[in-house]
């Protein structure tokens, strides 16, 4: 039997990147996927593969910051599928700038999507999970929620807050059989990080890659595999944990080049 057979998974940010990879992987493992994204996915890509594997899956176009819209979407998902077994909050945006130069509008954009956009879906999904007295939630944080990085004030703040929100929810809802964890990916090749391949940033990207002990960027499917573990029964005694999926980036730093 597949690891998620007969379960219903809500995944935000499913139009591309890590969210799309989670949708495809969860569908292959037997889950019905309810996707949510502000952008509408095309017929190709990971979401297309998810629907091909799990044709009962559904997609809702909504802004994860919009409380009324997400409340309606979650209600429709429960009405259609009867339950929600897992939630992956993968919607997010990048941002850049130090505090002294950062526009308030940019700060609010990053915080609202990455943090409020994690809180709002969780608010309504956890209410359903409380009725079921069972469920698993996975938030997407970042290594930048564990360590600071230059010119990343808003992003660091948003992702660090997601780590603490994870622990708070694990404390508040563990007695109801609800597990809450988060993933902290390193550099992952997604549309969000494509800008680092531009000529003016390629050297920066290489230094970032070299900070990962595996000396490469990760793939969305590798993060999806970790998300699968956390929502599955294999992680039945794991809650309140921030799992780094970072090729060893947060393990430490090398001061010399590795041997050939």
- How confident is the model at residue 57, as a pLDDT? 86
CA–CA separation, 32 vs 7, rounded Å?
Answer: 6
Q: Residues 155, 157, 190, 226: which is the catalytic one? A: 155
- How confident is the model at residue 195, as a pLDDT? 80
CA–CA separation, 223 vs 125, rounded Å?
Answer: 22
Q: How many alpha carbons fall within 13 Å on the CB side of residue 223?
A: 32
Domains of the chain by start residue, with CATH: 8-190+219-248 (3.40.50.720)
- How confident is the model at residue 196, as a pLDDT? 80
- How confident is the model at residue 2, as a pLDDT? 87
pTM beyond cutoff 0.85? yes
Own/partner long-range contacts of 156-159 (Cβ < 8 Å, ≥24 apart): 157/111, 158/95, 158/110, 158/111, 158/113, 158/114, 158/115, 159/114, 159/184
Directed axis angle between helix 45-53 and helix 17-28, to 10°? 20
Per-residue pLDDT tens digits of the chain, which is 260 residues long = 589 999 999 999 999 899 999 999 999 999 999 999 998 776 545 667 666 666 788 999 999 999 999 999 999 999 999 999 999 999 999 999 999 999 999 999 999 999 999 999 999 999 999 999 999 999 999 999 999 999 999 999 999 999 999 999 999 999 999 999 999 999 999 888 888 888 888 898 999 999 999 999 999 999 999 999 999 999 999 999 999 999 999 999 888 888 87
- How confident is the model at residue 42, as a pLDDT? 61
249 catalytic? Reply is no
Own/partner long-range contacts of 40-46 (Cβ < 8 Å, ≥24 apart): 40/15, 41/14, 41/15, 41/16, 45/16, 45/20, 46/16, 46/20, 46/21, 46/220
């Amino acid at each position: 039997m597949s690891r998620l057979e007969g379960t219903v998974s809500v995944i935000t940010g499913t139009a591309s990147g890590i969210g799309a990879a989670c949708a495809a992987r969860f569908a292959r493992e037997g889950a019905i996927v309810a996707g949510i994204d502000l952008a509408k996915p095309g017929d190709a890509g990971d979401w297309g593969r998810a629907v091909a594997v799990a044709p009962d899956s559904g997609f809702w176009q909504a802004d994860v910051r919009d409380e009324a819209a997400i409340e309606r979407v979650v209600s429709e998902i429960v009405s259609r599928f009867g339950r929600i077994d897992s939630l992956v909050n993968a919607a997010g945006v990048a941002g850049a700038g130090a505090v002294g130069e950062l526009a308030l509008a940019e700060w609010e954009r990053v915080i609202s999507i990455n943090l409020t956009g994690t809180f709002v879906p969780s608010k309504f999904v956890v209410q359903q999970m409380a009725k079921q007295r069972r469920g698993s939630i996975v938030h997407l944080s970042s290594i930048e929620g564990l360590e600071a990085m230059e010119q990343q004030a808003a992003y660091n703040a948003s992702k660090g807050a997601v780590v603490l929100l994870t622990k708070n929810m694990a404390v508040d809802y563990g007695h109801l059989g609800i597990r809450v964890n988060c993933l902290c990916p390193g550099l992952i090749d997604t549309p969000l990080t494509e800008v680092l391949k531009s000529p003016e940033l390629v050297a920066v990207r290489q230094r970032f890659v070299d900070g990962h002990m595996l000396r490469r960027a990760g793939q969305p499917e590798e993060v999806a595999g970790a998300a699968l573990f956390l929502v599955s029964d294999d992680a039945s005694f794991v809650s309140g944990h921030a799992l780094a999926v970072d090729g060893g980036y947060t393990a430490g730093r090398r001061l010399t080049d590795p041997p050939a």
